[in-house]
Amino acid sequence: MGFLAPWFLAGAALLGLPLYLHLLQRHQTTPRSFSSLMFFEKRTQSSIKHRRLRYWALLSLRLALLLLLALAFANPFINRSAASMASDKLMLLVVDDSFSMRAGTRLADAKQAALSVLDSRTPSERAQVISLGSQLQVLTQATQDPGALRAAVESIAPGDTRASFGELGRAIRAMAESIPTPIELHLFSDLKKTAMPASFAEMALPPNVSLVLHPVAKDVVPNWTIESVDAPAQVWDPKKARVQAVIAGYHTPAAMRTVSLVVNGKSVATRTIAVPASGRVSVEFQGLDVPYGFSRCEVRIDSADALPADDTSLFAVQRADPGRVLFVHEPSDSRSPLYFHSALDAAAESAFVMDTIAAEQTENADPSRYAFVVVSDVLSLPAPFEQRLRKYVQGGGSVLVAAGTSAAHRPRVPVFDEKIEAPRYYASEGQRFLTVGASDTSYPFVEKSGQMAGVKFYFAVQVDPGNAQVISRLTDQTPLLLEKKEGEGRVLLLTSGLDNLTNDFPLHPAFVPFVEQSARYLAGIDNRSGSRVVDSFLDLRTAKEQSIGVEVIDPDGRRPLSLKEATTAQTYQLSRAGFYQLRLANGRQDLIGVNPDRRESDLDVIPDDVLALWRGNTSAPQQATTAIGQPQPESQTKPFSLWWYVMLLLLIAAVAESLVSSQYLGTQREGP
Amino acid sequence: MVQRFLDPAVLTSISSLELVAKTVVEGFVAGLHRSPNFGFSQEFAEYQAYTPGDDLRHIDWNVYARTERAYLKKYRGETNTLLTVLLDASNSMRYTSHAVTKMDYARYVAASLFYLTAVTQRDAAGLIVFDDELREYIRPSTRQGQLHRLLSGLEHAEPRARTDYAKPIHHFQDFLRRRGFVVIISDFYEQPDVIVRNIEPLRFHGNEVILFHVLDPQEIQPKLNAPSTLIDLETQETMEVTPDYARKEYREKMDGHIKALQDRAQGAGMDYYLMVTDRPLDDALREYLTKRQGRL
């Protein structure tokens, strides 16, 4: 037995304190003067004897309390042989099932090694099986049951996630805090360099954990992969769509590779490219001829390497007809439709087709046929059309209203239905022009247009915002962009014109992204991608879409969400590679392709010196591996701390002291 | 209302011993107006027919004017009495459990007796202060300023040393040449036989001896809440005593002591009176006057 901090035993000198209080101070009663002791006799009361008995019990408890306190600080330990400690240690078998373990026979080798370690374990030794991906998955509790342990190892299937040794370190540190016994951690992994965290400290293991590494990949193997694919999620004009892919090689020689674009299982285009040694090359497919609706697409290379699972990259494409836009303008205003149409056409992918119509010809126009309607600075609208337009908005349609000099003569803004307070002619007011002051950048058309910075506004209509939300203001606080919700739809108001007379916005580069993004916003088209990465999270609903059921169908055709989760889950983690079918809370159907993290394709292994540092010694990993299961020499001992037992006794002594002292003090109070 | 001024605790707030004595006596006298049993020396006794040779100063000229006969007016108080107070000034008299020490109480009693004797009755009064020695002796006299001398003697009598009755009484027997009252004020912490044996010779000279036994209430019924260590004020001896003993055996012994002293004193022809320091002072005066009345 020894003490880890023996100098704290000096605290045992405090034992003198209760001795002084109990034995010396006990006799210091204040004597009283009396006229004569002629009639007194010296007597010892029987109750004093009784009290002294309890007094000694209290003294003993207080002495024990102080002694245990000093012992606890001194941290006593006993040396126990490693053999006796072996039965107390926990064997943790961590098998890496990340995506890279699909290469060759890595996972099978790892499982075989894990089973071998299990077989060499003593029957009384507890073990636990855990699989390692982006997170640790506990497959068994700590048990001595060999059947359960073997079944857990054999059930490990190759995954698509990315291994993280940082996550392993965090989990083991948390586990070691709750498990006082030593932990022997066996890691069966290909020990990729890309699995290491940014900081080595995140991998660090606590002192009571001994790490035994079982590398399943000896050498670096060459691997080609499709690093990224840039493809549209929606296609309106197949001829204009294009797919761009980046082919990367890790530790590969220069080679010719064949890249194919596959749509719904059929190869539609093939390219043969030269990939430089350990380099990257980009390949582009012009045109994406996909049928209407969702299509499952992939870019594939014929790599014939050790990891064929990363030779394809999945993405989903939805083909739809271009949205139709109704542009209503004054007959005399030919600039507005020209600029707006040019901007829509300049935007990629031709998502919209614009119909232009004069205001006076809208008598029979039906807004419900259009994705959204633009009313550009009209003096007046036929009453039936305006009525239909209001109904269209109430039913979920969207309208962009531009209020130029013509609209300034009206008392109210059409459709937007708010009072026009005054037209502001900045050109004649001496200011010449105003720029945008403050903007709400949460709107994509504000953000993408750079908050309309540098645009000069010569004229604006000052509108009472009413219930509308102001998105942008001019520098004199005049509202420039407002949004108003009407029923299920929305009306966007620009308090200036779309021509280049009331402002120079149409001539400004920000006009194109503004028109494109506002058109997408008004038409309800999201900026989404058709592909994701494994372990990323998918937003299932917004804050306004609570308690609405969603549906997720994973690549195996199963529904991973329970009924409760389907109505409450905010996000869903994509844990498998493949195509996921979604029905989101807003009712929209979607299809996304999920690919493994491409960092898994780099099969470069961690250097031996780093691994030695991780293990906490400089011996070779093979030595540690061979040490598994072999009996430890009897002479080898390890300190076993008695701190917990001392603290337990201390707690008991403290409680007993409290009880006895309260009893004693209670007797004293009753005495007088 | 008057009784309040006789409370010993109230009297401690009066610094002048003469004023204390005056307050006690005048208050006591005023309280006696309803009592027919007590009289004073200036009280009218009887008329006596004048015979030649009588002092003309005692003729009641008013009676002569009405009856044309000369009568002498006689007063009771004209018989002179000698009062000697023996005051125990040993250390045990220092004890108190409340506002008044036994010594203070004894001083008040003595001062009141002196005031009553010297001022009201114009008798001769003397003082002997003793412990184990004779510490002060003021011989009895009716001279001018005698009261002040007596009170000064009382004020200078501070408790010290131990009590020894044999030696001082043996000495002051020589001073008691005239018969009178001898009042001994003490706590009498001695065996009753020893006390009476030492005091008894005073009685042989024809003196009336009165023992005023001054005790604190705690001395009669000590109250101890816990085992305590007591220090004897005279011997400085310490002793650990228990509440049970103080509650039972001590009280029995003290009662036995008082009873034995009382019996032994009465057997020797002396009067005994127990004075507890939390009781009014008029009891002492009443005792003295009762004795003096019987003597007249």
Touching check for B161 and chain A: CB below 8 Å?
no
| CA dihedral over A504, A507, A510, A516, signed as positive or negative | positive
Tokens of A28: 């210091």
Q: How far is B75 from chain A (nearest CA, A)?
A: 46
Residues of B in contact with A29 (CB under 8 A): 227-229
- Residues spanned by CATH 3.40.50.410 within chain B? 2-33+80-295
Residues of A in contact with B237 (CB under 8 A): 37
Q: How far is CA A84 from CA A119, A182, A206, A540, in A?
A: 20, 12, 21, 54
- Tell me, what's the pLDDT at A375? 92
Which CATH class, in words, describes the domain spanning A83-220+605-638?
Answer: alpha beta
Q: How far is A39 from chain B (nearest CA, A)?
A: 6
> Is A43's CB within 8 Å of B244's CB?
yes
CB A190 within 8 A of CB A103: yes
Task: Domain A323-523: give its CATH architecture.
Answer: 3-Layer(aba) Sandwich (3.40)
Helix (H, G, I), strand (E, B), or coil: what is residue A485? strand
Q: Can you tell me the distance from the alpha carbon of A45 to that of A38, in angstroms, rounded to the nearest whole number?
A: 20
Q: Can you tell me the distance from the alpha carbon of A71 to that of A647, in angstroms, rounded to the nearest whole number?
A: 9
Name residues whose C-beta falls within 8 Å of residue A422's C-beta, 6 or more positions apart in sequence.
A461, A462
Q: Percent of chain A having pLDDT more than 70? A: 90
Q: Can you tell me the distance from the alpha carbon of A576 to that of A557, in angstroms, rounded to the nearest whole number?
A: 12
- Tell me, what's the pLDDT at B9? 61
Distance of CA A613 to the CA centre of its chain: 30
User: Tens digit of pLDDT per residue, chain B (296 long)?
Assistant: 334 445 666 666 555 666 666 666 666 655 544 433 333 444 566 788 888 887 788 888 999 999 988 888 876 544 567 888 889 888 888 888 887 888 888 888 888 888 877 776 677 888 888 887 778 888 888 788 888 888 888 888 888 777 777 777 777 776 666 677 888 899 888 888 888 888 888 777 777 888 889 999 888 888 877 777 888 888 888 888 877 788 888 888 899 999 999 898 888 888 888 888 887 777 667 766 776 665 44
CB B24 within 8 A of CB B108: yes
Touching check for B276 and chain A: CB below 8 Å?
no
CA dihedral B233, B239, B240, B243 (to 10 degrees): -60
| CA dihedral over A436, A437, A443, A449, signed as positive or negative | positive
Name residues whose C-beta falls within 8 Å of residue A637's C-beta, 6 or more positions apart in sequence.
A79, A80, A81, A82
Q: List the 175-234 stretch of B: residues with Cβ below 8 A of A.
A: 187, 189, 216, 219, 222, 225-234
- Tell me, what's the pLDDT at A400? 93
CA-closest candidate to residue B117, choices B176, B58, B12, B40: B40
Tokens of A526: 């999201």
Q: Percent of chain B having pLDDT more than 70? A: 77
CB A569 within 8 A of CB A547: no
Tokens of A494: 């620009």
Is 3.40.50.410 the CATH number for B2-33+80-295? yes
Q: What are the helix (H) ranges across A145-241?
A: 146-154, 165-178
- Bridge partners (DSSP) of residue A328 are A357, A375
CB B45 within 8 A of CB B39: no
- Bridge partners (DSSP) of residue B185 are B87, B212
Length of chain B, please? 296
Count of CB pairs separated by less than 8 Å, A with B: 83
CB A241 within 8 A of CB A232: yes
DSSP secondary structure code for residue A606 in this structure? P
- Bridge partners (DSSP) of residue B85 are B127, B183
ipTM of the complex: 0.75
- Bridge partners (DSSP) of residue A483 are A469, A492
- Tell me, what's the pLDDT at B73? 80
Name residues whose C-beta falls within 8 Å of residue A80's C-beta, 6 or more positions apart in sequence.
A637, A638, A639, A640
Q: Can you tell me the distance from the alpha carbon of A175 to that of A508, in angstroms, rounded to the nearest whole number?
A: 60
Name residues whose C-beta falls within 8 Å of residue B209's C-beta, 6 or more positions apart in sequence.
B182, B184, B199, B202, B203, B269, B270, B271
Across the range A520-543, mean pLDDT stands at: 79
- Tell me, what's the pLDDT at B41? 46
Question: What count of Cα atoms within 13 Å lies in the side-chain half-sphere of residue B49?
Answer: 2
Across the range A336-347, mean pLDDT stands at: 87
Look at the pTM and tell me if it is higher than 0.80. no
Tokens of B228: 């305590």
- Tell me, what's the pLDDT at B100? 83
- Type of residue at A335: R
Kindly tell me if the per-residue pLDDT of A556 is higher than 60. yes
Q: How far is CA A505 from CA A117, A329, A424, A451, A472, in A?
A: 72, 17, 17, 12, 14
> Is B95's CB within 8 Å of A31's CB?
no
Kindly tell me if the per-residue pLDDT of A579 is higher than 90. yes
CB A419 within 8 A of CB A484: no
Query: A366 or A29, which is more confident?
Result: A366
- Tell me, what's the pLDDT at B293? 61
Q: Can you tell me the distance from the alpha carbon of B166 to that of A495, in angstroms, rounded to the nearest whole number?
A: 130
Q: How confident is the model at residue A399 (pLDDT cuts 50, 70, 90)?
A: very high
Which CATH class, in words, describes the domain spanning A234-320?
Answer: mainly beta
Q: Can you tell me the distance from the alpha carbon of B182 to that of B159, in angstroms, rounded to the nearest whole number?
A: 21
Touching check for A668 and chain B: CB below 8 Å?
no
- Bridge partners (DSSP) of residue A579 are A593
> Is B239's CB within 8 Å of A42's CB?
yes
Q: How confident is the model at residue A45 (pLDDT cuts 50, 70, 90)?
A: low
Residue-wise pLDDT tens digits, A142-195:
888 889 999 999 999 989 998 889 989 999 988 888 877 888 899 999 998 888
Selected for mutation to probe chain A from B98, B163, B230 (highest A CB count within 10 Å) is B230
Chain A residue closest in CA terms to B239: A42
- Tell me, what's the pLDDT at A626? 38
Kindly tell me if the per-residue pLDDT of A629 is higher than 60. no
